Amino acid sequence: MRNEKSTEAIAHAIRSRVFEHTIRNNGGYLSQACSAAEQLAFLYNEGLNLGPSTMPMIPPPFTGVPSAQNPDYVTGAGYNGPFDAVHDRLFIAPAHYALVAYACLIEVGRMAPEGLEMFNKDGTSVEMIGAEHSPGMEVHNGTLGIGFSTAAGLAWGRKRLGHTGRVCVFMSDGEVQEGQTWEAVQAAAHHGIDNLWAIMDVNRQQCDGAMDDVMTVGDIATKLRDFGAVVAEVDAHDLPAMRAAAAIPHPGRPLIVLAHSRPTQGMESLMSRFPRLHYVRFKSDEERARMNVEIAAELGIAPVKLEAH
């Protein structure tokens, strides 16, 4: 489903919306919007074959976890369109990117802006760490490193069932530190699972700061190729390059697009916090006010009106 808006415009709108949310709430996963805006905009706006959302524009309240006593349980998958033979599925493996993913759902017309007002509010499904029942989430992924495995299994199953729809995973580079990621690539290659692909946000950051300071992972592309994937490397903020990479044929193997990103893309003022970018919470009213003005100017939007307190 293609939106009338350009992917570039959607990416910009994602950054603006996550920025506004973060300023208003004095905290948020803001640098993930900087690094991943184009990737998510690309997936939803053109990279994936998703049907129209089957869910209400305003997310329903939390209706309980899966159990035999809860027959009405639904996941957030419907926001990504109907689960049928022809449409693609998308997993957001690093579930802490949820804020960015929700903003993207709004920009592509799958969720109302009111949905984001529910973010992290008690009793809603719009959770801070995307849960299986959160909009656009299809399975639980908050424990990092399990997404690609689940996707490989789903893709294998869909192939067996004759589905033409593919399975895509949005991954984070921190996930390559988990051994399971490598087991997943190995299995996908071994079983020739080629209806499976991923875009990985290679921002070189993790909770503690720069990945090279926390746990060196070396050349991710070479390692992934050695484990059997077809790998493409692109500048995460270069949409034509991303389009070309996603179109690379990968018969008999999964495709993984490494999107080399900058954790402050579009919001250079955030560099003053480097390397503490994982979760942006302003240290003082002064910093918050300054960032509000500076980043808004960079984005070309008006600063957020803050209530006096």
Ligand X SMILES: Cc1ncc(C[n+]2csc(CCOP(=O)(O)OP(=O)(O)O)c2C)c(N)n1
Question: Per CB under 8 A, which of residues 216..275 are in contact with other proteins?
Answer: none
Q: How many whole angstroms separate alpha carbon 284 and alpha carbon 293?
A: 14
Taking a C-beta distance cutoff of 8 angstroms, is the pair 155, 196 a contact? yes
What DSSP assignment string belongs to 47-85?
IS------S-SSPPBP---S-TT-TT---GGGGG---SS
Residue 127 binding partner per list ligand X, other proteins, none, with a CB distance cut-off of 5 to 8 Å that depends on partner kind:
other proteins
Question: Per CB under 6 A, which of residues 209..268 are in contact with ligand X?
Answer: none
Return the bridge partners of 280, or none.
28
Question: Per CB under 6 A, which of residues 261..290 are in contact with ligand X?
Answer: 278
Q: Which of 132, 138, 173, 194 is the binder for ligand X (CB under 6 A)?
A: 173
Decide: is 141 part of the binding site for ligand X (CB under 6 A): no
Q: What mask of x and - would describe binding to ligand X in positions 19 to 48, judged by CB under 6 A?
A: -------------x----------------
At a CB cut-off of 8 Å and minimum separation 6, what does 157 contact?
none
Q: Which of 2, 6, 25, 84 is the binder for other proteins (CB under 8 A)?
A: 25
Decide: is 147 part of the binding site for other proteins (CB under 8 A): no
Decide: is 306 part of the binding site for other proteins (CB under 8 A): no
CB atoms within 10 A of CB 68: 5
Which residue's CB is nearer to other proteins, number 46 or number 173?
173
Q: Which of 28, 47, 81, 174 is the binder for ligand X (CB under 6 A)?
A: 174
Q: How many whole angstroms separate alpha carbon 146 and alpha carbon 278?
A: 20
The alpha carbon torsion through 210, 128, 34, 289 (nearest 10 deg) reads -100
At a CB cut-off of 8 Å and minimum separation 6, what does 31 contact?
203, 205, 263, 264, 267, 270, 277, 278, 280
Q: Which of 123, 162, 240, 300 is the binder for other proteins (CB under 8 A)?
A: 123
List contacts with other proteins (CB under 8 A). Answer: 25-27, 29, 62, 65-67, 95-96, 120, 122-123, 127-129, 131-133, 140-145, 174-175, 177-180, 206-208, 211, 213-215, 278-279, 281
